[in-house]
């Protein structure tokens, strides 16, 4: 399963975001370092279900009227402060948690109501721009530290006649969740000596920075938009980085209200309807939230998850079926599974994602939307429904 980590300074709303997105109850409080051990849970990205092309909605477990929710893993880690890579705050142990993540959502407090340590200050007095750069820098320095610590062993290996610097670096960085292909791309664009003994600190830092950028892309969740000064959010949106305005607290309130049957709202909707039985006080709070959602295009929580997976990680959703006409599996379930594959994947890649045996026995595939056989090198598109024919 793809893994998204919520990182960022303390008290920015990571655990609130996590609770809203996973419906798991974790500690949330208005002081720094509420979270110590990481929380892990299942959340979803949202996309259009292929059943929208048919007369009837599919009623799959994760489909609500054509809104399809595809599972991903969400990790909520302890807050990060400047100097964390050298042990400041809760130190760098939680940075290790990020090793397993495919992509990072950096949750910042766009209201400027918490300082760099996460301590509450008056709204608008801390510049949220500062909270973006330091997180990237801490991650880069942390990885540079890992490279440093492993350098002696690379030097030692270099005495062997079979030594290959690219192989040695790929080996060392694989523990960081970097694939050989990703490392090959980084090394292609870097200039460095073949002999590890001649490497300077700047070579190691450049390597760490490039590997981090490629393997842990970041989208910023500009959180607390419900209380943030509008110009703060606008300034953040002008950056040449992906920034999504969010209100984690708003999303949490809406999901709770939806569970209680008070509002009609599905995660990722940009609006909601208020039902019966809502008190005047609740209605006032909901109307306030509606204004923020109108202004910033929803609560942004679902949007940030979707951006991380579909834009940063460039995934598409593919739906394997056994029956190309009914779009069902062997038990008659319509569109039972959805896979998030890298853009450019082929039917063979989908076969392997379903099961290695299915991949090994791959014969051919049928595009169930057109009912035509497709070639091995066909590039899957978002929402493709595919029947795979395999000997296994
Ligand atoms: N107004 C507003 N407050 C929020 C929002 N999201 C979170 N908060 C509040 O911010 C405070 C911190 O929230 P947490 O979710 O505990 O923050 P965290 O980033 O997990 O903090 P640490 O675990 O200490 O790193 C709590 O008082 C939340 O209620 C939001 O969107 N709007
Ligand atoms: Mg927390």
Contact 70, 317 (CB under 8 A): yes
Contact 66, 51 (CB under 8 A): yes
Q: What is the structure's pLDDT at 323?
A: 96
Pocket test for ligand 1, best of 6, 7, 12 (most atoms within 8 A of CB): 12
Q: What is the structure's pLDDT at 375?
A: 95
Q: Does the CB atom of residue 106 touch ligand 1 within 6 A?
A: no
For residue 114, list its beta bridge partners.
Answer: 120
Q: What is the structure's pLDDT at 182?
A: 84
Q: Which atom of ligand 1 is nearest to the CA of 248?
A: 31
Residue nearest to atom 24 of ligand 1 (CA): 33
Q: What is the structure's pLDDT at 31?
A: 85
Residue nearest to atom 9 of ligand 1 (CA): 13
Q: What is the structure's pLDDT at 92?
A: 67
Q: Does the CB atom of residue 22 touch ligand 1 within 6 A?
A: no
166 CA to centre of ligand 2 in angstroms: 39
Ligand nearest to the CA of 247: 1
Ligand nearest to the CA of 20: 1
Q: Which atom of ligand 1 is nearest to the CA of 33?
A: 24
Q: Does the CB atom of residue 247 touch ligand 1 within 6 A?
A: yes
Q: What whole-number distance in Å separates Cα of residue 284 and Cα of residue 156?
A: 67
Q: What is the structure's pLDDT at 243?
A: 98
Residue nearest to atom 8 of ligand 1 (CA): 13
Residue nearest to atom 14 of ligand 1 (CA): 13
Q: What is the structure's pLDDT at 222?
A: 98
Contact 382, 317 (CB under 8 A): yes
Q: Does the CB atom of residue 227 touch ligand 1 within 6 A?
A: yes
**Residue 179: CA count within 13 A, CB half-sphere:** 6
Q: What whole-number distance in Å separates Cα of residue 315 and Cα of residue 337?
A: 15
Q: Does the CB atom of residue 39 touch ligand 1 within 6 A?
A: no
74 CA to centre of ligand 2 in angstroms: 13
Q: What are phi and psi of 388, to 5 degrees?
A: -105, 130
Q: What are phi and psi of 12, to 5 degrees?
A: -90, -20
Q: What is the structure's pLDDT at 392?
A: 86
Q: Does the CB atom of residue 245 touch ligand 1 within 6 A?
A: no
Q: Does the CB atom of residue 224 touch ligand 1 within 6 A?
A: yes
Q: Give me the tens of pLDDT residue by residue for the chain, a chain 392 residues long.
A: 999 999 999 999 999 999 999 999 888 888 888 888 889 999 999 999 999 999 999 988 899 999 999 999 999 998 988 888 887 777 666 677 888 899 999 999 999 999 999 999 999 999 999 999 989 998 898 889 889 999 999 999 999 999 998 888 888 888 777 888 888 888 888 888 889 999 998 999 999 999 999 889 999 999 999 999 999 999 999 999 999 999 999 999 999 999 999 999 999 999 999 998 899 999 999 999 999 999 999 999 999 999 999 999 999 999 999 999 999 999 999 999 999 999 999 999 999 999 999 999 999 999 999 999 999 999 999 999 999 999 98
Q: What whole-number distance in Å separates Cα of residue 341 and Cα of residue 345?
A: 6
Q: Which atom of ligand 1 is nearest to the CA of 30?
A: 27
Q: What whole-number distance in Å separates Cα of residue 312 and Cα of residue 219?
A: 8
**Single pTM value for the model:** 0.94
Q: What is the structure's pLDDT at 184?
A: 86
Contact 113, 232 (CB under 8 A): no
Q: Does the CB atom of residue 150 touch ligand 1 within 6 A?
A: no
Q: Which atom of ligand 1 is nearest to the CA of 36?
A: 23
178-184 long-range Cβ contacts below 8 angstroms, 24+ apart: 178/211, 178/214, 178/215, 182/211, 182/214, 182/215, 183/211
Q: Does the CB atom of residue 19 touch ligand 1 within 6 A?
A: no
Pocket test for ligand 1, best of 10, 11, 97 (most atoms within 8 A of CB): 11
Q: Does the CB atom of residue 249 touch ligand 1 within 6 A?
A: yes
Can you list the positions of beta strands (E) in 209-345?
A: 218-223, 243-245, 263-264, 273-274, 315-321, 339-342
């Amino acid at each position: 399963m793809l893994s998204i980590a919520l990182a960022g300074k303390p008290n920015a709303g990571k655990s609130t975001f996590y609770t809203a997105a996973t419906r798991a109850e974790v500690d949330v409080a208005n002081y720094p370092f509420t979270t110590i051990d990481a929380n892990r849970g299942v959340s979803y990205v949202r996309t259009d279900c292929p059943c929208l092309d048919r007369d009837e909605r599919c009623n799959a477990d994760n489909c609500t009227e054509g809104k399809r929710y595809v599972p991903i893993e969400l990790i909520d880690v302890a807050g990060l402060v400047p100097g964390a890579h050298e042990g400041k705050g809760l130190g760098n142990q939680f940075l290790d948690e990020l090793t397993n993540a495919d992509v990072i959502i950096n949750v910042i407090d766009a209201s400027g109501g918490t300082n760099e340590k996460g301590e509450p200050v008056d709204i608008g007095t801390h510049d949220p721009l500062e909270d973006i750069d330091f997180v990237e820098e801490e991650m880069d320095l942390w990885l540079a530290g890992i490279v440093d610590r492993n350098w002696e062993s690379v030097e030692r290996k270099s005495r062997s006649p079979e030594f290959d610097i690219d192989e040695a670096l790929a080996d060392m960085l694989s523990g960081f969740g970097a694939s050989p292909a990703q490392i090959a791309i980084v090394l292609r664009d870097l200039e460095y000596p073949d002999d590890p003994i001649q490497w300077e600190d700047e070579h190691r830092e450049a390597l760490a920075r490039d590997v981090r950028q490629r393997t842990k892309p970041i989208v910023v969740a500009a959180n607390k938009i419900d209380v943030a000064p509008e110009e703060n959010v606008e300034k953040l949106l002008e950056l040449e980085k992906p920034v999504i305005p969010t209100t984690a607290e708003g999303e949490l309130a809406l999901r709770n209200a939806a569970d209680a049957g008070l509002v009609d709202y599905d995660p990722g909707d940009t609006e909601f309807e208020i039902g019966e039985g809502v008190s005047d006080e609740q209605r006032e709070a909901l109307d306030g939230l509606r204004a923020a959602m109108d202004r910033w295009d929803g609560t942004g929580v679902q949007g940030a998850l979707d951006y991380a997976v579909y834009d940063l990680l460039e995934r598409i959703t593919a739906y394997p079926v056994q029956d190309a006409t009914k779009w069902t599996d062997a038990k008659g379930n319509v569109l039972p599974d959805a896979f998030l594959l890298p853009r450019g994947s082929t039917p063979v890649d989908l076969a392997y994602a379903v099961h290695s045996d299915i991949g090994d026995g791959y014969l051919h595939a049928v595009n169930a939307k057109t009912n035509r056989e497709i070639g091995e090198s066909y590039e899957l598109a978002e929402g493709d429904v595919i029947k795979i024919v395999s000997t296994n």
